[in-house]
Chain A
Amino acid sequence: MADDGQVRRLIGAAAIAVALGLAAPSAAQLPLSSPKWSELSPQERQVLAPLAPEWDGLDAQRKSKWRGIAQRYSRMPPDDQQRAQQQMRPWSQLSPQERAAARERYKSLRDLPPDRKDEVRQRWEQYRNLPPERRREFADRAPPPGQKIPAPGMRPPPGERGPGR
C-alpha cells in the first residue's frame, strides 16, 4: 500500500501533467485549415455562394463550420436547401453576440410543442404586419441585450390575456 510520501509524489506528478495538458494549445485552437474561396471545391462554392464576398475574411473556425454545413446540404430536402441558402448571408452578417443570442432563442423555441410552434410562426407574420412604430415600442420595452427573455411557452397562451387576439 502506498505511504504518504508516495501519494504526495503521485499527486505532484499528476499536477505537473495537468499543468502541461492545460498549457498545451487551448481547446479553441483546433488545427483547422483556412482555405481561400478559390481553394474550395466546386460543390462547396456552389452551396456557399451567398458567402463568397466575405469568405476570405472569415476565421478558420467559421470556415470549418460553413464547410460542415455545405457537407450536410446535399442531405437536406430541396425546401431546406433553398431556405438555408437564403438565410446564410443574413446569418453570417450578425455579430457574434447576436448569433449567440439567436441560438439561445432558437433552442427555446425548438423545444415548444408543435401547436405552439405554429402559433409562433403565425405571430411572426402578425408582427411583421404591425406598423414600424408599434414594432419599435415592443423593442423599447424588451429587456436590455444580455438579459434573457423567457420563452413564450413559459407564459399562458396569449389568447387568454391580450385583447384583440
Chain B
Amino acid sequence: MSREEEIGKAVKAYLDEGTAEMRSGVAYRLQQARAAALARVAEPASASEGLLQHAHGLAGLGGSAKGPRGERPFLLQPRVWLGILLLAAAMFGYQQWTAWQELEELEDLDAQILTSDLPIDAYVDRGFQQWLTTGKFED
C-alpha cells in the first residue's frame, strides 16, 4: 500500500466517524449538493457554454449555429420575440394612453378657459399681467 493510500484510509476513517454522528437533515443536504455537483461535472459542454456567453455578452445575437444542447440562439427563439413584441406593444399602448390623457386634459383646460369669468384677452394681455403683478395703479 502506497503512502497516499494510507493517508486516504486514515482520512476516510476520520470522516466516517464524523458523519456517523451527523443529523439526518444535514446528511441529506450534503447528498443533494454532491448529486448536483456530479451532474455539473457530467455536462462540461454546458459549463463552457456559460463561459462563452459570459465572454460574448449577448451571445446568440450573431450566427445561426444551434447551442450545444440543440437550442436555438437566444434571439432566434420564438418565445423571446413574443416577449419582445408584448413589451413593445405594452409601451406603445402606454404612449397612446398618455397621449389621450393629455388631449383630454387639454380639452378640459380649454373648456374651463372658455367659460371663465375673464375674457381671453385677460390671459394674453401682458400689460394686464404686469399691472396685476406689480399692483401699481398710480393714476
The proximity string for A residues 126-157 relative to B, scoring 1 for CB distances below 8 Å and 0 otherwise, is 11001000111111111101000111100111
Counting chain B residues whose Cβ lies within 8 A of the other chain, the interface size class is: 35 or more
A5/B135 contact (C-beta < 8 A), A21-B87, A61-B103 known: no
In Å, the complex CA distance between A9 and B134 comes to 60
- Asked if B132 contacts A91 (CB within 8 A), the reply is no
In Å, the complex CA distance between A20 and B92 comes to 9
Nearest chain B CB to A119 CB, angstrom units: 9
- Asked if A69 contacts B107 (CB within 8 A), the reply is yes
Chain B interface, DSSP helix/strand/loop, else mixed: helix
- Asked if B137 contacts A126 (CB within 8 A), the reply is yes
Note all chain A residues with C-beta closer than 8 A to B115. Answer: 76, 80, 83-84, 87
Q: Is B62 an interface residue (CB 8 A)?
A: no
- Asked if B128 contacts A138 (CB within 8 A), the reply is yes
Q: Is A40 an interface residue (CB 8 A)?
A: no
Nearest chain B CB to A69 CB, angstrom units: 5
Chain B residues with CB under 8 Å of chain A are 50, 53-54, 57-61, 74-75, 80, 83-92, 95-96, 98-100, 102-104, 106-107, 109-139
